[in-house]
Structure 1
Amino acid sequence: MRISELAARTGVPLATVKYYLREELLMPGRATSATQAQYDDTHVRRLGLVRALVGQGLPLDKIKVVVALVEDPGEDLFVALGKAVMALPPYPGSLSGADDSADAEYPRTRALLERLGQLYDPRFTAVAQLERALSALDSAGLTMSDRRIDVYGEHIRGIADLDVDLLPTTSRQETVEAAVLGTALYEPVLAAMRRLAHQHRAARTFSTAADPGSSGCTQPDRHPQETQ
């Protein structure tokens, strides 16, 4: 297909397609003349990836990281997946109060992951993100009880197991691409489903009749001194 057809098929404005080509977010088409090129389904797929990442608010430099890893994941797929997911927000520098230095320590997160028997790698962005979230709980007078950690951990690992099992394995490129899109686009689904589950449970627990206008919320874990 010609570039105008590519734009029409994907719904991406022609000027934007040309911009992505200039920025090397979209690979060049097959040249058919000095001024013409042909594009195919791989270009459609790449535009879908770029549009999804733009829609999640990723800056251009981060999208380029993902695109480069999709193009060439390298020999170690685990490392490539980690780098690709780390290109997604939030970024260490945007985590107010989080230490993003190479030798940073995250005691709350380390203790939580050790309890769950999970890998602790302070270089991974989500470690700083979780440390900040746990610190916010402390500041609010809340805590992550052992029961909450265990139940959250069990079900979240189940979700992670499913996500990894469903990753395509046809090629390394598809695996990286699916992991990035899955992380970026399924996390809002999980958050919304959790809130809707809270609403459903709260309606059953606290209301004699389900009130569509009511909203369920997580019951907080108070510090021991606040529950005595």
Structure 2
Amino acid sequence: MKISELSRRSGVSIPAIKYYLRDGLLPPGHATAANQASYSEDHLHRLRLIRTLIGVRRLPVSSVREILGAITEEGDLHQIFGIVIDARPAALKQKQEQDAQAAEQETTGVTDVRRLISEMGWDVATHTAAIQTLGDVLDALSELKADIDWQTLLPYAELADRTSELDVEQMHGTSDLLEQAERAVLVSVLLEPALLALRRLAQEDKSARLFSHTAEKGNGD
């Protein structure tokens, strides 16, 4: 396909595509004339992935380049998914630095998250970013004297476990590395706002069922 079609199908402007080509994020197309080239489906998948990592995940170009390189080298769907959802860093050095930092700064909340993980029987890496995120939340809840701890979150963890099965099922059906990475981004990044919106809709429904009738009854009395 020509660069104009690549732009149309990917939703990325031609100037941006040319920038990614110059910067090495996007490999050169097949030269068809002095100033023209054709591009493949691989270019399309890679470009969509770049757009999402930069535009949605807000990652710097240097990080995107590292992730794309790691995806190409890994060839392992589990590792690709981990890189994309930030469950593991793309570089081994970064992983080692994160492990050392986590060991030094582990809070009560993080310790409680590890208890939750153990209770659920989940197989996750020690440096997974979500551990620190959830640990920070538990620490904040504790400081606010809220009656919510890691055990309170277990029913939510069970729901998340079932949701994750649906997420991972979306990853099947392709063997192409870049397409797998693109689907990982769709599942892990772009679906999150949809899942939050569904939760809000369900909350509104349950609130109406539980509380609106109570209010009407009170008004009637």
- Superposed CA deviations along residues 181-209 of structure 1, whole A, max 9, x for unmatched, are 31011112112211221111111111139
Counterpart position of 1:101: 101
Q: Secondary structure of 2:12's match?
A: coil
Does the alignment pair 1:117 with 2:121?
A: yes
Does the alignment pair 1:206 with 2:192?
A: no
Q: Within 1, Cα distance between the matches of 2:74 and 2:40?
A: 22
Amino acid corresponding to residue 169 of structure 2 in structure 1: D
Contact 1:121 1:127 in 2 (8 A): no
Amino acid corresponding to residue 164 of structure 2 in structure 1: A
TM-score, normalised to structure 2, is 0.77
Query: 1:154 and 1:82, CA in 2 relative to 1: closer, same or farther beyond 3 A?
Result: same
Contact 1:100 1:128 in 2 (8 A): no
Counterpart position of 2:73: 72
Counterpart position of 1:190: 195
The runs of 5 or more residues in structure 1 that have no matched partner are 89-98, 211-228
Q: CA deviation at 1:33?
A: 3.3
- How many residues are treated as equivalent by the alignment? 199
Does the alignment pair 1:176 with 2:177?
A: no
Give 4+ residue runs of structure 1 displaced > 4 Å after superposition.
Answer: none
Q: CA deviation at 1:32?
A: 2.0
Q: CA deviation at 1:100?
A: 7.5
Contact 2:4 2:14 in 1 (8 A): yes
Q: CA deviation at 1:125?
A: 0.9
Query: 1:176 and 1:48, CA in 2 relative to 1: closer, same or farther beyond 3 A?
Result: closer
- Superposed CA deviations along residues 43-66 of structure 1, whole A, max 9, x for unmatched, are 222222222222312222232233
Q: Report the identity percentage.
A: 37
Q: Within 2, Cα distance between the matches of 1:170 and 1:47?
A: 18
Question: Where does 1:7-46 land on structure 2 (aligned, <5 Å)?
Answer: 7-46=7-46
Amino acid corresponding to residue 184 of structure 2 in structure 1: A
Q: CA deviation at 1:120?
A: 4.7
Amino acid corresponding to residue 190 of structure 2 in structure 1: L
Query: 1:117 and 1:11, CA in 2 relative to 1: closer, same or farther beyond 3 A?
Result: closer
What is the alpha-carbon root mean square deviation over aligned residues? 2.7
Amino acid corresponding to residue 163 of structure 1 in structure 2: D
Selected match of 2:145 from 115, 138, 141: 141
Query: 1:172 and 1:109, CA in 2 relative to 1: closer, same or farther beyond 3 A?
Result: farther
Query: 1:58 and 1:18, CA in 2 relative to 1: closer, same or farther beyond 3 A?
Result: same
- Superposed CA deviations along residues 80-135 of structure 1, whole A, max 9, x for unmatched, are 332232189xxxxxxxxxx9715243212111212222235321111111111111
Counterpart position of 1:221: none
Q: Which has the higher contact order (CA 8 A, sep 6+)?
A: 2
The runs of 5 or more residues in structure 2 that have no matched partner are 89-98, 216-221
Greater mean alpha carbon deviation, residues 7-16 or residues 188-197? 7-16
Q: CA deviation at 1:162?
A: 1.5
TM-score, normalised to structure 1, is 0.75
